Amino acid sequence: MSRMFAAGALSIAVVAAASIAANAAAPLPGEATLKVAPLIKKLTPAVVSIEISGHVPSQAGAKKRETRETRGAGSGVIYDARHGFIMTNSHVIEHAEQITVTLTDGRKLEAKRVGADLDFDLAVIKVEVEDLTSIPFADSRELQIGDFVLAISFPTGMGQTVSSGIVGGLHRNNVGIEQYENFIQTDAAIYPGSSGGALVNLEGDLVGICTAFSGSGNNNPGMGFATRLTAGQPLLRCTLHVGSGSIAAKALTVSAAADDTAIKVAVRRIGPALVFERLWEETGCRAVISALAGARGHKFVLERAVFLTVLHRLFVSGSDRAADRWREDYAIAGVAGLDLHHLYRAMAWLGEELPAKEQDGRTPFAPRCVKDVIEERLFAHRRDVFTKLDLVFMDTTSLYFEGAGGQTLGRHGYSKDHRPDLRQMILAVLLDGDGRPVCWEMWPGNTADVTTLIPVIDRLQRRFAIACEIASNCDPFQG
């Protein structure tokens, strides 16, 4: 009975199309011969050797919970030369505490783990270096049984090797290796150490990652398996297991997008948008903001710009410029077409003063603006016939402005942050009895008298029909 061996290290190979040509009959006059040497020369710099070291738990039954040192090797494929991203099998870097990548030019680089999908046995690592070569992705859905393929990898104890063969089967799902199996079967040689290597077509595009072979020992009887890579679909659904951080900040996806020249693959976190998008919908934020923005005729999706800036402030905080840079690492629906000036315009829109006829209820400190309408509509969205604000809580704090800004509300006064040289303002958040936010208010930072809350409270009673109000931490300089 043959056993399945997950090929634990580099990649593979021996150039097969060349051997086919060598054994074939002499070509007829004018008959083309297949030369793969130029293609191999172009592709081999993109396939790397990976070595790992780490610790694994001691064998079951040991009296002490000890670990033992482990070392391993495998192969990897550079798919993004600009950012240094390398794809391999997740079992290659399992238990890795240190990952070393060796390029074909002899350079040895320390790599860091980006993420891994154990179910599909795929992983991404990253190196910081320039002058890399990458292999573009092909759409493996176009593969057919009988197509010629090359396997490039680093078998254990050998240097980089190239082998050739044909696709012998597709959609193999009864191999018994992974949780989810959809393998390419090939007779291109795959050995121990070839895991993570490249399976490419004769156009030089990556169609799969060498993963395993079937055999009764360390020799390959001619049946290897590669994980399919399908451009345009997620390649990884992985979680970064670092510390005890939330899954929202660590879920990753690798997606492929085609342009006129090549297929580019970017690694992006999906967690923040995945979690918060649902709350954004359920609370009515998306519907309310879209409705208010729809009448304005903006040439960009204003609701998406607001969503991006809010999401950034929830997870990181910072300026609109910081949000524009932050979103590059995250998969957020509908923000690809946004530029920095769109974020500036979205924030300006939220603070835009309403027409004079809609200024009923303004305070001496601040006029009514678009954000007030959004708060009132969101409150109406979740309100029913039994909803009353009999009891609310107000919490305040003081903020200061650095650099330009704060000309309207900023005032020099007492600073709990010990920065009396900077303009201050007071920020208050109103919560209902269940702890849900209702709205927020602002007033100048030199208003130390608690009586300055009265206009704000009057305004809140008019906006939300509050019957009774309790102010908690209402001293602006103690909040």
**What single-letter DSSP state applies at residue 233?**
S
Q: In what order do the strands lie in the sheet with 237-239?
A: 237-239, 251-258, 263-269
Among the listed residues 80, 121, 205, 372, the single catalytic one is: 121
- The full DSSP string for 109-177 is EEEEEEEEETTTTEEEEE---SS----PBPBGGG--TT-EEEEEE--TTS--EEEEEEEEEEEE--SSS
- Catalytic residue, candidates 11, 49, 75, 91: 91
To the nearest 10 degrees (0 to 180), the angle between helices 340-350 and 302-315 is: 90
Q: For residues 274 and 269, give the distance between their C-alpha atoms in angstroms, rounded to a whole number.
A: 9
DSSP 277-340: HHHHHHTTHHHHHHHHHHTTT-SS-HHHHHHHHHHHHHHT---HHHHHHHGGGB--TT-TT--H
Q: Is 476 exposed, middle or buried (0-12, 13-18, 19+ CB in 10 A)?
A: buried
Pairing of strands 392-400, 263-269: unpaired
Task: Give the CA distances from residue 396 to residues 70, 318, 374, 399, 426, in Å, rounded to whole numbers and listed in that order.
Answer: 55, 20, 21, 10, 7
Q: With 0-12 CB in 10 A as exposed, 13-18 as middle and 19+ as buried, what is 252?
A: buried
Annotation marks residue 91 as catalytic = yes
Spatial CA neighbour of 136 closest among 226, 73, 229: 229
- List the one residue out of 152, 123, 194 whose CA is nearest residue 46: 152
Q: Which token pair is 77?
A: 């494929």
Question: Which member of 49, 153, 195, 214 is catalytic?
Answer: 195
Per-residue tokens: 322? 């910081």
In which element (H, E) is residue 379 found? helix 370-381
Is 319 catalytic? The answer is: no
Structure tokens given for 242: 């670092």
Element spanning 439, H or E: strand 437-444
- The rounded distance, in Å, linking the Cα atoms of 319 and 317 is 7
Positions annotated as catalytic residues are 91, 121, 195
